Amino acid sequence: MAKSCVSRYCVDRFRVICELDDCKYGIQKISESIEIAYTTIHGWKMGTEPRHADGERLIKLWCKATGKSRKDLPVLNANCWWSYHL
């Protein structure tokens, strides 16, 4: 049986944005830093999926602000997509 190449985990953008907030990067500052609209960042926090390039900009900012590497990103089990809708 062939293994699936699809990752079972995805970036937990809610936690990424909350951790940025802990580093004094509120949504407005995130918006200004990565040049994405405030409402778009807020939508990501609520569970919408960013375009790949925009998500990468958020990850780069998170790495810079927290001093952590990509391997330390907060992740969410892809089977728990509903967790944002509780």
The larger pLDDT score, comparing residue 29 to residue 2, is at 29
Q: Tell me: the pLDDT tens digits for 28-82?
A: 999 999 999 999 999 999 989 999 999 999 999 999 999 999 999 999 887 765 5
DSSP string, 2-31: PPP-S-SEEE-HHHHHHHHHHTT--HHHHH
Per-residue pLDDT at 1 exceeds 70: no
| Torsions phi, psi for 47 (to 5 deg) | 115, 0
The pLDDT, as a whole number, for residue 81 is 58
The pLDDT, as a whole number, for residue 79 is 72
